[in-house]
Structure 1
Amino acid sequence: MTSDAELNSDDADQLLAAADSRRDQGAWLQAAQFYARVVLLRPEAWPLRVQEGHCLKEAGKVEAALDRYRDAERQAPEDADLQLQIGHAHKLLGQRRDAALAYARALALDPGHADAQREARASEAWLAQPPPGGAVSPPADFLPAPTVSAAADATEAPPPAAATPSPPGAAVSVVLDVSDVLDYFNGARTPTGIQRVQIGIVNRAIAEAPPEGLQLSFAAFDPAELNWHPVDGAAFATLCALSASGSDTEDPDWTEARDALREKVAKAPPIAFAPGALLVNLGNSFGFAEYFRALRAVQERDGVRYVPFVHDCVPLIVPEHCLQSMVQDYARWFSALGLHAHGLLCNSENTLRDVTEQMSRLQPGFSLPGHVVRLDADPRSVAALSGDVSMPALRVLRPGERFALFVSTIESRKNHLLVFSAWLQLLRRHGPSRVPRLVCVGKAGWHAEAALNLLQNAPELQRHVVLLSRISDLELDALYERCSFTVYNSHYEGWGLPITEALAHGKVVVTPRHSALTEAGGEAALYFTPQNMPELEALLERVMFDDAFRAEREAVVLDKGRPRSWSAVKDQVFSALQALAALPPQPPEARASLALGQRYLSRRRALTRPDLRYAVADMARHGPGWYPLEEWGVWCRGGLSTLRLALPPEAGGAALRLYLQMHSPPVPLTLNLRCHSQGRPVAQFEVTVEPGQHPTLMLDLPPVDHAGPLDVELDTGDGIDLSRLGAADTRRVGVGLSGFMLCRLDDHAARLNFLEQQNFVATLP
């Protein structure tokens, strides 16, 4: 028997011995209890979480065992043996397809693993089984589209080349999208956090051979042409090296290298993606309009699978500390993320939890395969520069001067106000001769007025705080080497790269205990309660004035805060991508269908929270026949534009009504509407759209098969050349669309609800 006192012990070694003993005796549930207790005391000991799962499995509690394996997977996503155990658990539960996926991941992680080879071969046929349905009840506005049956019309086009996962051993084409870095370099030279991450990973990928079975290339997105162009790796590496060596954006060497690469990318032909390629965006793509529309085209044509690196969900969690335009861009991007991504890379467990939680708010139970790639990499690419006083940023410091370092954009989220206030109190309490100066590295950002006003209105603080911006990586490296300790404050973080940078230089870090900062700092950082200024002051006093304490903490940093190399981070990225390549792809239209009776707006909306209705409406714009979304709606291009409507099951066998809210062109135009379902004609209409009317058209449609989308072709002939009408706009447009709604013809409530909001001027039988 197990006593409460024995189980509640805080002696991890004693508990582990008890767990092993009971496991050897076959007392499985008792052993599981002890392993669980050890993990509480040693959260990093994921192998013991696996042992707990083994014991639960032996006791017949397979579902609980699978939960423990999944917990361990969050810490060790690249462990092949763990994937094998996950596969075994799924197999015992009769979940054959999930078991096959886990075995395929295990083999992708370790191609020489004999057990993984055997299980992957034995379970390969299970991958063809459709995923089980009915497990989750999604909201009415986001219903999963059905799988096309084998009895579908034999004349249908074959599926794209990547309709099955990459088989074990097959070469995987990986295209790293570096658009974010190149776009940043158009207006700046010294990279910030997310650009640093991309540069660290991509540069090592350029310098080192890719792993066996992986073909690597680089690309940049062209928002004007909605495609991707190849990027020369060597030229990109040269530009990154120049970005680290200086901060002058007018330096001829810099501008020549940047402009030459930009021109080379622009002149290169669009990329022809290999079937089933992984398009990996290591930075941010939410600032690029129409990115997902371009992505859908290559997903349909080439079976491309999109893998973004999500660095944080800050605009959703603390929007008050972000520019409104950033919140809106991010909300629109996140609305569509789950419909387009094949899997995710995240920089911390905290970010992965945030993404999962935010997605579950859009659709309960929905998630994507995610791999955590910690950013605990040594940022240094050159030797320490402790004696180079010629660097401009160091001239503000006196020789041998003690100072603290705070590296961050000066913005409200980083809460410089709290740190400045604490420094001011310490100055008044101890005097300027004892308190070291605070060097802040980072440009002024948004909502920083409160901190800067305090700095301006407190002369003693102003004399003791140094603001630096546009400094080179070489100068930053020197500042880290010379500082006494560092401070990093924030209301919320996805990782906290300056913490990693400070630890890499052996420096003590003072930071709040929340979000991913505890992952970045681990056991090496010093933490205070968020927003608790007395606690921050007390901690700063110890670090400033207690030399023995600071030396003791520096020893902890050297022992617990040692970073790994960017090569190791890069290798983990590629390992995660190979695991994701083994998963079967799912095209966007297979993940969502329209909700009957739901009005969808076809315009660029000012979202402050993600909204699946926005993503579903945007997905309906199929093919190249559309201009970008505007605030009022969207123009069709002259010629043929297609609205592709994914139908929910309840649409099958029922007569339907489609409402199209149109925006009239400046001159009369004949609009031909042709509706198709799985290549078969359903209905055809013709109407003349007059200027200024902006009609809502009603199209009554016969029953169609819900197993395929309903394509509505809007044919406007040659369209209208706006420039010939005296407008500065040179586009050739057809009609405009501002919204649509599809419902069953017999759904009088939905029709009435829509009619109450509209004025109709055209009805098509």
Structure 2
Amino acid sequence: MSSLSADPDALLQLADRQRQARDFLAAAESYRAFTELRPDAWGIRVQQGHCLKEAGRVAEALSCYRDAEAAAPDDADLQLQIGHAQKMLGRWRDAARSYARALALAPGNDDARREADSTAEWRSGPEIEAADRAALGLPPGEAEDGSEPEAPDTLSVVFDITDLLHFFAAQRTPTGIQRVQLGIVSRALRAATPGMALSLAMFDSRSRCWRAVGAPGFLRLCALSAEGSDAADPAWTALRDALRRQINGRPPLRFRQDALLVNLGNSWSMPDYFRALRIAARESGLRYVPFVHDCVPLIVPEHCLADLVRNYARWFGGVGLHAHGILCNSENTRRDVERHLRALLPEGPLPPAFVVRLDADPRALLPAATADAPLPPALREDEPFALFVATLESRKNHLLVFSAWLNLLRRLGPDAVPRLVCVGKPGWHAEAALGLLRGAPELKRHVLLLHDVSDAALDALYRRAQFTVYNSHYEGWGLPITEAFAHGRIVVTPRHSALVEAGGEAALYFTPQSLPELTALLERVMLDGPFRAEQEAVVRQKGRPRSWDAVKDEALDAIAALAARPATPAAPPPLRPGHRYSFAHGEATEPRLDPVMADLVRHGTGWFPLDDWGVSAAADLSTLRLPLPDAAPAAPLRLYLEMQAPRAAMPGGTMDILLRAGAPGGPVTSFAVPLEWGEAATCVFDLPAIAGPVLQVEIDSGEGVRALQHGEARLLGVGLRGFMLCRQDDHLSRIAFLEAQSLSSVIPEPTP
């Protein structure tokens, strides 16, 4: 035995140096040798596991963590590391149990809580299975779904309720978009629709597929969401998590031929949603029908979170090339959609858009006992108040309403001015309104802020309010207006966007952002009893909403009309020769086709979602399909690919990439591309003329590297940051591209 191997301190110092140099396998061996001399040093056994995990030997790392666990069974961080390793190995249920144990050991650990919450639906076991069946209302032995098989001559309509289930993962009281989904989908499921087979699905972003959702469990969740507001209620969490476990236990959904996937919520926050749609469309002819509730992030982005604006712009940039048709909640929204789509696709056909007005009576969604619900404790039963239902954010412009209330309080006195009850969760950019409340004590005493209000309590507020206010900088519809009308309440609202459609002839309007007009109108409603009674009569006559069944029928009629149209997917526009396309998410805050093209050219399943820096190919084979311009005659091409080899555990060595390019089904030109681990290079490929409209590029990354990225276990191939395609004789494009590069170019020679 050498003196080094016999000296624990020297071994530990060596291991630390090797780990810092990223020589993880050598470091793991040195840590192992140390623990042989110091068997009780379980923390160093954990370090050995970390190094093995970094080297891609995750199963061996888990073994080290398990050895350490025998010495430290109550260490919460160790349980987290065990969960991470299990997640990388794809053992989601085991990982969920480890995260739950970490949280039980350390309830204040934010990492443990985040991981436990995000994987709660994966926990399993006999006790959990029995509890889940009870929560879902399934007796032992009964089929999970309870749905009837679809008749072969029916239209298959699948409602994508991913957005709604994501919302329910953290919250219980629905807001506008969630109420629309609850109203239409729950009504559609409870009544047979001739010629249609209706079902539910949830998008699994980890596997880039959809999984079936059992209708009975979903309907129970809808009913329970209306019965209370406590998101930590054991009955609520048991049903919510049981439904998620039921979904995750199901195989990927195989859509029927020519089915329609109807998303009444949002899909702009889901990575790779469009790519999964394209794969499903190639397999089954699946057609996608989104519901656009508004174009607010494009029209008033200053009143939205920056991430929302970017995500929405990316989604909207691609919706015109992926949607078979679009549902809109108002004529105003339809005009906005068509205007922005036409700016993106000035010459191509646009998907047809149908309007489904959301003037539905909300009381039909409430439990039977709601009529006796009391007011919130902060209000006296005989106290006059006005109601403003909206998220507390800058777009709703509470500042203007607060300013009008303050003016009236100071001029008329508090006895003449009813309290203002604001119902809505705190949102973004609300500092100015909240600052006015803090700085004006008389206003603060007269304004009541409420959130997490149950549907029953909200109904009580509408029934007993003197009148309502609904302000906003821009709206796609304005559900609180419809809700107020259903209860016979006056609505004071600005005259703009879709608010004039929601308010019709029954609302009282003021010029948008006019504080004098708003103040005068509020004063008249507050003080002029005959005027208020006259306006309430107008509301009862002209503001009466429809039933949710009527709205549901209108939506299903629009879906049927879209289904009758030929399924002719929009062809992607050709690439612009000499133009660089980036695979990075980017910071664009308005729809553009460039990011859409970077998404469209990724073909098949061999890709991970776009990232802030670019995109990772999966190990083995990944394919690009580059649409070529058809105006110019075929000519030899030059392809620039900005490539990034993943960082490997061991320093030195290369990732050997094989690239094959040519027309689909035709002859190919092959290139060998060796990149050092972690190396970034712009690779240049000279290609012969391509006979056809598409250049197909197959990238074989070999075995790849195992890594945990964005909470997902991935086997990574080469990364791509961008590309440019031009004719070989287009010297101006070549020079412009190369001058813009800060990285060296590599020109591989074709292999024999």
TM-score norm. by structure 1 comes to 0.75
Q: How far has the Cα of 1:722 moved from its partner?
A: 4.8
**Which residue number in structure 2 is paired with residue 682 of structure 1?**
668
Report if the CA contact (8 A) 2:506-2:542 is conserved: yes
Residue 456 of structure 2 aligns with an amino acid whose one-letter code is L
Residue 690 of structure 2 aligns with an amino acid whose one-letter code is V
**Which residue number in structure 1 is paired with residue 359 of structure 2?**
376
Equivalent residue runs for 1:597-676 within 5 Å: 597-650=578-631, 652-666=633-647, 667-676=653-662
**Which residue number in structure 1 is paired with residue 522 of structure 2?**
540
Secondary structure, counterpart of 1:186 in structure 2? helix
CA distance in 1, matches of 2:705, 2:400: 58
**Which residue number in structure 2 is paired with residue 130 of structure 1?**
none
Residue 614 of structure 2 aligns with an amino acid whose one-letter code is G
Residue 574 of structure 1 aligns with an amino acid whose one-letter code is L
Provide closer, same or farther for how the CA distance between residues 651 and 218 of structure 1 changes in structure 2, counting only shifts above 3 A: farther
**Which residue number in structure 2 is paired with residue 764 of structure 1?**
748
Residue 269 of structure 1 aligns with an amino acid whose one-letter code is P
Provide closer, same or farther for how the CA distance between residues 650 and 694 of structure 1 changes in structure 2, counting only shifts above 3 A: farther
Q: Does 1:703 align with 2:689?
A: yes
Deviations for 1:283-317, whole angstroms, at most 9, x for unmatched residues? 01111111111111101111111100000000110
Secondary structure, counterpart of 1:182 in structure 2? helix
Q: Does 1:492 align with 2:492?
A: no
Secondary structure, counterpart of 2:211 in structure 1? strand
Of residues 194, 197, 214, the one that matches 2:180 is 197
CA distance in 1, matches of 2:630, 2:461: 62
Q: How far has the Cα of 1:738 moved from its partner?
A: 0.4
Of residues 196, 208, 215, the one that matches 2:197 is 215
Secondary structure, counterpart of 2:311 in structure 1? helix
CA distance in 1, matches of 2:559, 2:307: 31
Q: How far has the Cα of 1:691 moved from its partner?
A: 3.4
**Which residue number in structure 2 is paired with residue 60 of structure 1?**
none
Report if the CA contact (8 A) 1:201-1:570 is conserved: yes
Unaligned runs of 5+ in 1: 1-168
**Which residue number in structure 2 is paired with residue 754 of structure 1?**
737
Equivalent residue runs for 1:328-347 within 5 Å: 328-347=310-329
Moved more, 577-586 or 470-479: 577-586
- Larger RCO, structure (CA 8 Å, separation 6 or more): 1
CA distance in 2, matches of 1:652, 1:170: 47
**Which residue number in structure 2 is paired with residue 175 of structure 1?**
158
Of residues 317, 322, 345, the one that matches 2:304 is 322
Moved more, 678-687 or 200-209: 678-687
**Which residue number in structure 2 is paired with residue 152 of structure 1?**
none
Report if the CA contact (8 A) 1:180-1:285 is conserved: yes
Q: How far has the Cα of 1:693 moved from its partner?
A: 3.8
CA distance in 1, matches of 2:215, 2:464: 34
Deviations for 1:376-403, whole angstroms, at most 9, x for unmatched residues? 00011248979746x4x52222122211
Provide closer, same or farther for how the CA distance between residues 194 and 510 of structure 1 changes in structure 2, counting only shifts above 3 A: same
Report if the CA contact (8 A) 1:489-1:512 is conserved: yes
Percent identical among aligned pairs is 58
Residue 187 of structure 2 aligns with an amino acid whose one-letter code is R
Deviations for 1:155-192, whole angstroms, at most 9, x for unmatched residues? xxxxxxxxxxxxxx953211100001100000100000
Provide closer, same or farther for how the CA distance between residues 395 and 693 of structure 1 changes in structure 2, counting only shifts above 3 A: closer
Provide closer, same or farther for how the CA distance between residues 355 and 295 of structure 1 changes in structure 2, counting only shifts above 3 A: same
Residue 590 of structure 2 aligns with an amino acid whose one-letter code is R
CA distance in 1, matches of 2:604, 2:474: 39
Secondary structure, counterpart of 1:631 in structure 2? coil
CA distance in 2, matches of 1:278, 1:177: 10
CA distance in 2, matches of 1:505, 1:458: 32
**Which residue number in structure 1 is paired with residue 728 of structure 2?**
745
Report if the CA contact (8 A) 1:677-1:710 is conserved: yes
Unaligned runs of 5+ in 2: 1-151, 648-652
CA distance in 2, matches of 1:289, 1:428: 51
**Which residue number in structure 2 is paired with residue 523 of structure 1?**
505
Provide closer, same or farther for how the CA distance between residues 747 and 199 of structure 1 changes in structure 2, counting only shifts above 3 A: same
CA distance in 2, matches of 1:721, 1:178: 32
Q: How far has the Cα of 1:425 moved from its partner?
A: 0.5
Report if the CA contact (8 A) 1:385-1:478 is conserved: no
Q: Does 1:471 align with 2:453?
A: yes
CA distance in 1, matches of 2:235, 2:367: 23
Secondary structure, counterpart of 1:433 in structure 2? coil
Equivalent residue runs for 1:232-631 within 5 Å: 232-366=214-348, 367-381=350-364, 382=366, 388=372, 391=374, 393-588=375-570, 590-631=571-612
Secondary structure, counterpart of 1:750 in structure 2? helix
CA distance in 2, matches of 1:722, 1:322: 34
**Which residue number in structure 1 is paired with residue 61 of structure 2?**
none
Secondary structure, counterpart of 1:649 in structure 2? coil
Report if the CA contact (8 A) 2:229-2:454 is conserved: yes
CA distance in 2, matches of 1:635, 1:741: 18
Secondary structure, counterpart of 1:731 in structure 2? strand
Q: How far has the Cα of 1:718 moved from its partner?
A: 1.5
Deviations for 1:191-250, whole angstroms, at most 9, x for unmatched residues? 00000000000110111112x221111100000000001111121111011111100111
**Which residue number in structure 2 is paired with residue 732 of structure 1?**
715
**RMSD over aligned Cα atoms:** 1.9
Report if the CA contact (8 A) 2:206-2:712 is conserved: no
Q: How far has the Cα of 1:256 moved from its partner?
A: 0.9
Report if the CA contact (8 A) 2:726-2:733 is conserved: yes
Q: How far has the Cα of 1:692 moved from its partner?
A: 4.7
Deviations for 1:101-159, whole angstroms, at most 9, x for unmatched residues? xxxxxxxxxxxxxxxxxxxxxxxxxxxxxxxxxxxxxxxxxxxxxxxxxxxxxxxxxxx
Equivalent residue runs for 1:45-56 within 5 Å: none
Aligned length: 590
Secondary structure, counterpart of 1:394 in structure 2? coil
Q: How far has the Cα of 1:559 moved from its partner?
A: 0.8
CA distance in 2, matches of 1:597, 1:223: 34
Secondary structure, counterpart of 1:228 in structure 2? strand
